[in-house]
Each structure stands twice: as C-alpha cells, then as structure tokens.
Amino acid sequence: MSIKKRSSIDLGFRTEISSFPEGETVNLCYQCGTCTGACPSAKFVEGFNPRRMMDDVLLGFKERLISSSLLWTCSLCHTCHERCPQGVHVSHILILLKNLAAKEKNIPEGLKKEAAQIINEGLTVPVGDAILRRRRSLNLPEMPYTVGVDEIREIVKTTHFDQLVDFKWKEETKEEKEEATG
Ligand code: SF4
Ligand code: SF4
C-alpha cells in the first residue's frame, strides 16, 4: 500500500469546494458507493470512480483530482446526483473540479479540438456528406452549415474561452477585413 506524502494534500481543498453552494454537499458523503454503482461512465472507463473522487475532495487530494484525465470522462448525466442517498451534488462537484482543472490548463487535447470545431462551425462534429445523406434518407430537414456561429464567437471572445482552450483565430483576409469595415 502506498502512503501519500502530506505535501501532496491540500488541507484547504475541502473548504474551497464547500464554499460553492453545490460543493458544500460533499461533506455529507458517507462513502456508500451508490454513485459509482449507478454511473454509466464507471461501467466502461477503468479507474473512473465518483465515490473515490468525493473521498479525494474530502481528504484534500486536489492535485491528483485536477490533473487526472479521468475527470473528463464524466458525461454529466446526473444519475449520481439523483441516486445519492445523502443528496450530494456529485455531478456538480465534478463540474467544479473540471473548472479548476481548466484554469490549470489541464484540458484533454481531444476536448480542445472539439472546442475549436464549435468555434469554427458552431457544431461539435464536422457535417460531412455521409451525415447529410443519412439525414436525407431519414427524411430529416436540411441542416444549415453553421448554427449561430457569430454569436458563439462573440461569447467565446467575451469570456476568453479561446484562451482557455488555446484556440488560434485565423488571420482575416484582406477581402474579409474590407467587407467587415464596409
Ligand atoms: S452516493 Fe452519495 S454518499 Fe454515497 S458515495 Fe456517492 S456521493 Fe457519497
Ligand atoms: S454525472 Fe458523471 S459521475 Fe455522475 S453518474 Fe453521470 S457520468 Fe457518472
């Protein structure tokens, strides 16, 4: 059994998380494991364990939590929150942890690419011919190529989300600059 060094424990972490309205419920966790038993991600992703994550919050293992890529495998289905007998807001606490991880630039590359895709096209995945053909075969309406992408870009710039996900804006062409200035 490995013993964690005291230096890797952040004694103020529990208080930090408890300072958020949804975070203070972590103090009610009695480690029953119902959240992990009900979690769809835990069934398929080895090592992902929301019960243990709540324990890590309580014990102050901040670094271990926010540096782990496992954190990002939570799909935010909120089943853990619904099933917890103590009413612990597990999924919301995981969002708090993701926000802390993002501030430390611990965002998986795949998610940064997805963010770039949203900023560029307003959609999480590129819409290729195969998707369009399948939509037609299912009699679904034609899709616009972009969905509110100007509004998305405005939000991204205003909130500095672009810096968080290391998004590189493309240089505007001379024609685009002229068009923007009328
Ligand atoms: S279900 Fe609730 S009380 Fe049980 S381990 Fe998960 S968070 Fe803790
Ligand atoms: S919200 Fe996340 S941790 Fe909770 S049950 Fe769903 S995938 Fe699991």
Q: How far is the CA of 24 from the centre of ligand 1 (A)?
A: 13
Q: Residues 152-174: what's their mean pLDDT?
A: 88
pLDDT at position 151, please?
Answer: 92
Ordered by start, the domain boundaries in the chain are 8-103, 109-167
Scanning the structure block, which residue is given the tokens 């919050």?
57
Nearest CA to ligand 1 atom 6: 35
Q: What pLDDT score was predicted for residue 170?
A: 82
Global pTM reads 0.83
Average of pLDDT values for 130-147? Answer: 84
| Model confidence band, residue 172 (pLDDT cutoffs 50, 70, 90) | low
CB of 11 closer than 6 angstroms to any ligand 2 atom: no
Q: Which pairs with CB-CB distance under 8 Å and at least 24 residues apart come from 118-126?
A: 118/152, 119/149, 119/152, 119/153, 119/156, 119/162, 119/167, 120/149, 121/145, 121/146, 121/149, 122/146, 122/147, 122/148, 122/149, 122/152, 123/147
pLDDT in tens, 20-33: 998 999 999 999 99
Q: CATH code for 8-103?
A: 1.10.1060.10
Q: Per residue in 62-121, pLDDT tens?
A: 999 999 999 999 999 999 999 999 999 999 999 999 999 999 999 999 999 999 999 998
Q: Is the CB of 39 under 6 A from ligand 1?
A: no
Count of CA atoms in the C-beta half-sphere (13 A) of 141: 3
Name the residue with tokens 């069934």. Answer: 43
Evaluate whether 112 touches 165 at the Cβ level (below 8 Å).
yes
Q: Shortest CA distance to 30 belongs to which of 81, 78, 85?
A: 85
Closest-lying ligand 1 atom to the alpha carbon of residue 31: 5
Nearest alpha carbon, ligand 2 atom 6: 77
Which pLDDT value is given to residue 178? 66
